[in-house]
Amino acid sequence: MDKIKIKGGRRLEGKIYISGAKNAALPLICASLLTKDTVTLTNMPMLSDIASMNALLRQLGTQIDEFNDFVDGHPSKTYSYRTAEASSLTAPYDYVRKMRASYYVLGPLLARYGHVEVSLPGGCAIGARPMDIHLSALEQMGAKIEIKNGYIIADAPDKLQGAHIAFHTASVGATCNIMMAAALACGTTIIENAAKEPEIADLAELLNAMGAQISGQGTSTITIEGVSALSGARHKVIPDRIEAGSYAVAAAITRGKIELINAQMQTLQNPMQILRDAGVKVSETPNGILVDAINAKLSGQDIMTDYYPGFPTDLQAQFLALMLTAEGASMVTETIWENRFMHVPELMRMGANINVHGHASAIVRGVKKLSGAQVMATDLRASFALVLAGLAAEGETIVNRVYHLDRGYEKLEEKLKGVGADIERIKEADELAAE
């Protein structure tokens, strides 16, 4: 397995281009299953999760064309998806096991074909990750659902019916799935306590361009008037706010200065305010966001994850790493996932001073220095936190299990090298040759 080698202690300065958002792109791809026409997505990030979702759609009978493109002066991918007729209505275990977001085929296929079988994903490194909200909402829309041999088997032979649904938790995945299902249902669906993440509004924008009638996206009540058919559309994926927030921390933790080209301040208000409160200069530029931590003395900050527009759980690990380089104590509280401090024991191996209380809170105390070590993490964001710690540490850090990073950070080494990091990928083949 590939590794990343970092020699820490360099101040990062320059510009980093922010790619299209992984967590927006994944449901957008699945929205293409709602129509027999072509859906074209531009500004798509080049990530292994996108490749996995494309593989699943090919398996369902979607024809996918891939183009190298230039969006806003930067290389990206454009993909065209055409599912004239699905050749399978099953998302098999091997796909779902690799990527939970495979469950996004559930709503679209059930709405279009009245039947779908999706392997239950099971838990993952950050928590149990139940699907009860998705399934209960589909049942309220008239679907018959059975769990058999590890699969969700859903039927709605007489079409899904609009319903008034109140989610017990503002789930991102369930909001996307039910919005897609309701787009082709009979009548009106109202989702109360819907998720408000920017990725939801991006999906609604594509669905409306395809002919759906969705309003209220971005608020906690979304109304979807079902239509009988949807058509093709072309859509540009929004910039990745989590990637932008992650590189903002790279600037701060190395006391550097990075302009995050294409980053959208309005989607990052809460984490950027925490950076400011900690002593980093953060400003909006015509092209994105400038994060300037040169000569900054950072002070510890308390952070609590929350649903959007609160502090994103997907930036918790990165900000926790930053707080190790701040003066004083910080309390970091995780409220979304029950097991999201897996980076802590690895950071401790680098000299961190962190006390985890139960599953939800960690007290982080600033340390004089971090020192490089061999580390590994069990999820994407935790892995990036280890990269950040490596950038700030004295000496060499080796981050193992790089496949986690490849799921969600496009051209990670290239982007960090471009702002002055001493970072390289050790390919498994190179490593074997050196042995």
Footprint of ligand EPZ on this chain (CB under 6 A)?
A: 23, 26, 101, 127, 129-134, 169, 171-174, 195, 313-314, 336-337, 380-381, 408
* Minimal distance, residue 365 CB to ligand EPZ, in Å: 26
Distances (CA, A) of 222 to 107, 170, 425: 16, 12, 44
Is-catalytic flag, 30?
no
Q: Which is nearer to ligand EPZ, 15 or 129 (CB)?
A: 129
* Minimal distance, residue 103 CB to ligand EPZ, in Å: 8
Instruction: Select from 217, 112, 239 the least CA-distant residue to 170.
Output: 217
Report the C-alpha gap between 44 and 50 in whole angstroms. 8
* Minimal distance, residue 430 CB to ligand EPZ, in Å: 28
Report the C-alpha gap between 387 and 393 in whole angstroms. 10
Q: Which is nearer to ligand EPZ, 47 or 282 (CB)?
A: 47
Which residue is at the shortest CB distance from ligand EPZ? 173
Q: Which is nearer to ligand EPZ, 127 or 187 (CB)?
A: 127
Strands 115-119 and 90-91: parallel
Any bridge partners for residue 80, and if so which? 40, 65
Report the C-alpha gap between 23 and 45 in whole angstroms. 10
* Minimal distance, residue 367 CB to ligand EPZ, in Å: 26
Decide if 370 contacts 394 (C-beta within 8 A). Answer: yes
* Minimal distance, residue 101 CB to ligand EPZ, in Å: 4
Q: Which is nearer to ligand EPZ, 362 or 370 (CB)?
A: 362
Report the C-alpha gap between 250 and 260 in whole angstroms. 11
* Minimal distance, residue 171 CB to ligand EPZ, in Å: 3
Q: Which is nearer to ligand EPZ, 23 or 262 (CB)?
A: 23
Laid out side by side, the sheet with 233-236 consists of: 63-71, 74-82, 38-44, 233-236
Q: Which is nearer to ligand EPZ, 173 or 256 (CB)?
A: 173
For 187-251, give the DSSP string: SEEEEES----HHHHHHHHHHHHTT-EEE-TTSSEEEEE--S----EEEEPPB-HHHHHHHHHHH
What is the DSSP-derived secondary structure letter of residue 26? Answer: H
Q: Which of 30, 124, 176, 186 is catalytic?
A: 124
Q: Which residues are catalytic?
A: 124
